[in-house]
Amino acid sequence: MSARNPGISLDLEWVSQVRVNTQAVLRRAQHYQALKVPKERWQAAWLLKAVTFIDLTTLSGDDTPSNVHRLCLKAIQPVRRDLLHKMNVQREEVTTAAVCVYPARVADAVAAIKAANACLPVASVATGFPAGQTPLETRVEEVVQAVADGATEIDIVINRNLALTGQWEALYQELCQFRSACADAHMKTILAVGDLDTFTTVYKASLVSMMAGSDFIKTSTGKEAVNATFPVAIVMARAIRDYYLSTGHRVGFKPAGGIRTAQESLLWLALIKEELGSDWLSPHLFRIGASSLLADIERQIYHHVTGHYASYQELPMA
């Protein structure tokens, strides 16, 4: 991860002045939707880069130590060794950015990565994920326990009611408590944009989250009806850029929910490069929250290497 965002004092005047031009955002989003992705070897290279941005995730009610163990092994070796060999890429160069699990599975993930003699961040959702409706004390304790179990990144959810009703000081204070509970772990703040009412609210929530010390801002839990979309990504990226220009502190961005195809992942990389610059095309500042995306990327890489498409059964877990 990059240097921590220390946060700043809550600037309500800055927040109150925010206005987002909805039509301009939608026009910009159409630009990204119309982009053509790179072809042939350039596409394969960018797809390998996209793999390194993935937070490989399992957030299911039936998660067990065994399926978390398999997830970790896949994160360590996300693309088959023979495919990497034919592309002249060392296996150590390509891992996912992290694995992301529920708090109860953090210790399992840490143990699996240690047993594989690997070094990979373990992220945990927390603070009453996905709704964030449990008591504040419970949400804080959940962060503390996840960190104690070995999580080095915490994906927290905001209290959407505070954002929807404009209680920005209360939201800021809650996030500061979560930031303190994270200790040395990086805090990735989920806005759950599908539950927010306007682009202006999304921007304000982004700004307050960064002021409170969030190291990343993240679109969604993946459980809302609407998750990561280009319009909300543009709004959040502009907030990140404005915060950086004002404070000098870089904050990362993580779209999550609904990103399933290799082609989509390349469009997201293009958006980040254009909106925030090449410095953000690093796992330290950009992540993709996904569970099924990796399978399609590996399928496209298989096609690049062999000239034909494999069934998913031909792409076993590493």
User: What positions carry a catalytic annotation?
Assistant: 218, 254
Closest CA to 268 of 290, 291, 301: 290
Q: How far apart are CA 71 and CA 65, in angstroms?
A: 10
For residue 206, the one-letter residue type is S
- Cβ-in-10-Å burial (0-12, 13-18, 19+) of 189 comes to buried
Other residues' Cβ atoms within 10 Å of the Cβ of residue 92: 10
Distance between CA atoms of residues 186 and 2, nearest Å? 9
Q: Are 239 and 219 in contact (CB under 8 A)?
A: no
Query: Can you tell me the distance from the alpha carbon of 124 to that of 119, in angstroms, rounded to the nearest whole number?
Result: 16
User: Residue 123: phi, psi to the nearest 5?
Assistant: -105, 145
Calculate ∠ Cα 211-214-215, nearest 5°: 125
Residue carrying structure tokens 């209360």: 170
Which residues, other chains included, contact 187 with Cβ-Cβ below 8 Å and sequence gap of 6+? 153, 154, 156, 178, 179, 213, 214, 215, 216
Q: Where are the beta strands (DSSP E) in 60-203?
A: 98-101, 122-126, 153-157, 186-190
